[in-house]
């Protein structure tokens, strides 16, 4: 029986029964789509809203729970901040058989008409992070799965939440990489151009993980999407912790909707879901 003090492959640090080194989960531990918050505390908050849940593992920043919502299986694993930590989580989740992911996060809006606490459902992301280039060429698109986008839209509509649909910019930097000044107001020449350039391109928001989650999911035939609540409004220069409960509720509700979509596809023997499938 392999334990963490035993020797295993350095290329693939996997222990007894396929338990992954970082997330400490093995095949079968997590059921259903996996919600991906960055914050370990948010993972706990998410799980506590379900009809039933149990803690599966807690190691470093990777806290995992599994349970059910309205009869549908659902799980959550926190990823930590940024794509390097997120790469570990998603890779190890793929290793244990997970194939559907929804990022549940916070973000900074950069377009007019978006308020603190609004939901942003991202259809794709600009890869301004350092992990995806190790997997794909620079011009490879980072796109959300359409079924998850539709499920998130339906969830927000049913719950009465204000939401916006569009492209994110996923960065590896919270400060200068998002056009903010750093320590002692440090900037370089390109810092001030980041926000206006992205605004001209129609990008809605900054966040720090979605593009790599989308990229990995596209490569490995998984489904991925993202919903973020707006904590920062870069147009009005306001910041406030608002909408976390709504983002959690919408993401969990979307899992139930996805479950219904998948059941319908299976019943009708269809590969892709679409309205009026009969």
Q: Active site residue: 103, 180, 212, 223, which one?
A: 180
CB 34 within 8 A of CB 76: yes
Q: Please confirm, yes or no, whether 92 is among the known catalytic residues.
A: yes
65 within 8 A of 24, measured Cβ to Cβ:
no
In a domain, 197, yes or no: yes
C-beta neighbour count of 81 within 10 angstroms: 16
CA distance 22 to 125: 26
Question: 104 with 247: CB under 8 angstroms?
Answer: yes
C-alpha closest to that of 86 among 54, 124, 32, 131: 131
Instruction: Identify the active-site residue in 24, 87, 92, 246.
Output: 92
Q: Is 112 helix (H, G, I), strand (E, B) or coil?
A: coil
User: Is residue 108 in some structural domain?
Assistant: yes
Tokens of 29: 């531990």
Catalytic site includes residue 59: no
Q: Is 103 a catalytic residue?
A: no
Q: What is the CATH number of the domain that holds 171?
A: 3.40.50.1580
Total of domains in the chain: 1
| 82 touches 71 (CB < 8 A) | no
Residue 11 lies in a domain: no
**Taking a C-beta distance cutoff of 8 angstroms, is the pair 32, 72 a contact?**
yes
pLDDT of the residue at 5: 63
Looking at 42, 207, 234, 244, which residue is catalytic? 234
**Residue-wise pLDDT tens digits, 53-67:** 999 999 999 999 999
Query: Is 3 within a domain?
Result: no
Give a yes or no: residue 10 inside a domain.
no
Residue 34 lies in a domain: yes
Within the chain, strands assigned E span 34-36, 52-59, 62-69, 72-77, 100-109, 119-128, 142-143, 163-171, 205-207, 223-233, 238-239
Cβ contact 138:155 at 8 Å: no
Residue 6, domain member (yes or no)? no
Whether 200 has a pLDDT exceeding 70, the answer reads: yes
Enumerate the β-bridge partners of residue 52: 68
Cβ 8 vs Cβ 2: under 8 Å: yes
pLDDT, tens digit, 9 for 90 and up, residues 101-148: 999 999 999 999 999 999 999 999 999 999 999 999 999 999 999 999
Percent of the chain with pLDDT over 90: 96
* Residue at 175 is within a domain: yes
For residues 248-260, give the mean pLDDT: 98
**In this predicted structure, what is the pLDDT of residue 276?**
72
* pTM metric for this prediction: 0.95
Tens digit of each residue's pLDDT (9 = 90 or more) over 10-22 = 999 999 999 999 9
Statement: residue 266 has pLDDT above 90: yes
Query: Which domain range does residue 216 map to?
Result: 16-268
């Amino acid at each position: 029986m392999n334990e963490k003090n035993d020797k295993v492959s350095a290329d693939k640090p996997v222990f007894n029964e396929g338990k992954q080194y970082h997330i400490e989960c093995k095949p079968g531990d997590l059921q259903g789509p996996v919600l991906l918050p960055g914050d370990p505390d948010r993972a706990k908050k998410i799980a506590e809203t379900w009809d039933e849940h149990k803690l599966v593992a807690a190691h470093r920043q990777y806290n995992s729970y599994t349970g059910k919502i309205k009869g549908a299986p659902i799980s959550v694993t926190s990823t930590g901040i940024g794509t390097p930590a997120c790469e570990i989580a998603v890779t190890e989740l793929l290793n244990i058989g997970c194939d559907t992911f929804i990022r549940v996060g916070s973000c900074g809006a950069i377009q007019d008409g978006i308020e603190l606490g609004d939901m942003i459902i991202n259809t794709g992301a600009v890869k301004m992070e350092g992990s995806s280039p190790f997997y794909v060429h620079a011009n490879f698109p980072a796109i959300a799965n359409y079924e998850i986008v539709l499920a998130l839209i339906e969830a927000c509509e049913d719950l009465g939440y204000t939401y916006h649909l569009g492209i994110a910019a996923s960065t590896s930097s919270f400060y200068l990489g998002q056009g903010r000044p750093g320590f002692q107001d440090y900037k370089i020449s390109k810092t001030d151009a980041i926000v206006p350039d992205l605004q001209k391109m129609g990008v809605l928001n900054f966040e720090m993980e979605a593009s790599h989650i989308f990229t990995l999911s596209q490569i490995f035939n998984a489904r991925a999407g993202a919903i973020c609540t707006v904590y920062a409004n870069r147009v009005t220069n306001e910041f406030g912790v608002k909408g976390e409960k709504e983002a959690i509720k919408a993401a969990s509700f979307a899992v139930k909707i996805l479950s219904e979509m998948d059941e319908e596809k299976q019943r009708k023997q269809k590969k892709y879901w679409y309205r009026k499938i009969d």
